């Protein structure tokens, strides 16, 4: 199988990830729940992973790196813990449901939400940020890159806008952590939410959020923490404040190993390889009769994603053909991005997404492009 569904989850991991998880499974106790070696080993690894993710995302304090099961959980914590009834929030048409649904729920509770529109080409209207601003606007919540088109949001520009108007900036880095540089301070980001199983190349069930110093996030869940057990309320200190219950120490051991791989290989090298493969594929399919490719492929910086349709064929049918006949794994359908599909005019048909990791090759990319060419000829 040629696996080109890395925007959903990376399948090939650095070998050290599995080894670290195997060792953790046979030796770790519960972090913060004992003074024996098993508990201490888990605690050391988890704190070390905090230091690594904080360094990667430009978070100045390791204790402000909070772990969750995924970016969806992290976004729910940030959105529900910082915003509430009466607040006005700005977001965009590029968002995944992990942003949209928490915002819609907040809207039902009395908040107001406006979305910066995307045009039929998928590009954001950045001028709409100013146009939609209200006196009660409290935050901007947006993605770093569309999981549908791979278009990258200018988060430096968005961060400056937020800072100028005294707004919180919550960033969804699900598609970019591990691929594109993120600097919380330099880009004026208050909270960055990430998942471990995509560009970070860690295991599923890992993710989290990094937050700037001085931010007061209401706990999303409360419960056991291993400290302050006689207190009736959740501890106020980070990261414990937002980490009720047992952490996924085994998964975080794997994430730690993945972060070591990224540090050794270099973020720029990883992105350059993935970007070259995505652009190679785009050049091979862009002019095929009947093929429509979505997104701005003239942009100098993109996530390694190419999304297309063939004629009027249903995207699920195309994806099934690619898998069954050609051994190419892709993602069809709506991609949990309903607003952008409506903007692109693909709400009914969906679209077929190809996405790369640093473990894909030119030969795999060329084979996938040839498969699209065959299906395009057959559809004429």
Q: What CA–CA distance (Å, rounded) separates 166 from 174?
A: 25
Tokens of 182: 């993120």
Residue 191's pLDDT is 98
User: What is the average per-residue pLDDT within 250-260?
Assistant: 98
pLDDT of residue 202: 98
Q: Which residues of 258-268 are buried (b: 16+ CB within 10 A; e: fewer)?
A: bbbbbeeeebe
If we measure between CA atoms, which residue out of 274, 347, 294, 343 comes closest to residue 149? 294
Reply yes or no on whether the pLDDT at 32 is more than 80: no
The mean per-residue pLDDT over the stretch 100-108 comes to 98
Could you give all domains of the chain from N- to C-terminal order, each with its CATH number?
15-265 (3.40.640.10), 267-379 (3.90.1150.10)
CA 225/CA 10 separation, integer angstroms: 31
Residue 67 DSSP SS3: strand
**pLDDT of the residue at 51:** 98
Q: What pLDDT sits at residue 236?
A: 85
Whole-number Å distance between alpha carbons of 225 and 321? 49
Give the closest residue to 258 by CA, choosing from 204, 338, 301: 204
Looking at residue 28, its pLDDT comes to 87
Q: How confident is the model at residue 235 (pLDDT cuts 50, 70, 90)?
A: confident
The Cα–Cα gap between 69 and 17 comes to: 17
Predicted model pTM? 0.96
Chain centroid to CA 205: how far? 13
Q: What band does 35 get if pLDDT is binned at 50, 70 and 90?
A: confident
pLDDT of residue 166: 98
Q: Which residue has the tokens 């529109």?
A: 117
Query: Average pLDDT in the 207-219 region?
Result: 96
Q: Which of 209, 218, 132 is nearest to 174 (CA)?
A: 209
pLDDT surpasses 80 at 261: yes
Here the contacts of 27-36 (C-beta below 8 Å, separation 24 or greater) are 28/249, 28/250, 28/253, 30/226, 30/246, 30/249, 31/226, 31/246, 31/247, 31/249, 32/225, 32/226, 32/227, 33/226, 33/246
């Amino acid at each position: 199988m040629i696996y080109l569904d890395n925007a959903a989850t990376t399948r090939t991991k650095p070998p050290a990830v599995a080894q670290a998880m195997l060792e953790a499974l046979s030796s770790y106790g519960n972090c913060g729940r004992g003074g024996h070696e098993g508990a201490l080993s888990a605690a050391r690894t988890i704190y070390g992973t905090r230091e690594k993710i904080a360094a990667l995302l430009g978070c100045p304090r390791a204790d402000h790196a909070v772990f969750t099961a995924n970016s969806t959980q992290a976004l729910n914590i940030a959105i529900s813990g910082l915003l509430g009834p009466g607040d006005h929030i700005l977001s965009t048409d590029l968002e995944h449901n992990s942003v949209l649904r928490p915002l819609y729920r907040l809207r039902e509770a009395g908040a107001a939400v406006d979305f910066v529109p995307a045009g039929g080409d998928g590009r954001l209207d950045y001028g709409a940020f100013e146009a939609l601003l209200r006196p009660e606007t409290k935050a901007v919540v947006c993605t770093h890159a569309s999981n549908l088109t791979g278009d990258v949001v200018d988060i430096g520009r968005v961060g400056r806008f937020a800072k100028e108007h005294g707004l919180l900036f919550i960033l969804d880095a699900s598609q970019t952590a591990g691929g594109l540089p993120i600097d919380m301070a330099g880009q004026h980001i208050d909270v960055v939410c990430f998942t471990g199983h995509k560009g970070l190349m860690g295991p599923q069930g890992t993710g989290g959020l990094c937050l700037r110093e001085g931010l007061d996030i209401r706990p999303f869940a409360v419960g056991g923490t291993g400290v302050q057990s006689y207190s009736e309320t959740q501890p106020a200190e980070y990261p414990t404040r937002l980490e009720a219950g047992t952490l996924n120490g085994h998964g975080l051991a794997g994430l730690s190993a993945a972060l070591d791989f990224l540090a050794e290989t270099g973020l720029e090298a990883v992105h350059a390889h993935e970007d070259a493969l995505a652009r190679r594929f785009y050049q091979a399919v862009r002019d095929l009769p009947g093929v429509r490719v979505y997104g701005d492929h003239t942009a100098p910086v993109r996530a390694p994603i190419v999304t297309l349709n063939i004629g009027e064929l249903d995207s699920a049918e195309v994806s099934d053909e690619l898998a069954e006949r050609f051994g190419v794994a892709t993602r069809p359908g709506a991609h949990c991005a309903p607003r952008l599909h409506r903007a692109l005019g693909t709400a009914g048909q969906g679209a077929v997404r190809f996405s790369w990791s640093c473990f894909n090759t030119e030969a795999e990319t060329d084979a996938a492009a040839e498969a699209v060419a065959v299906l395009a000829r057959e559809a004429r």
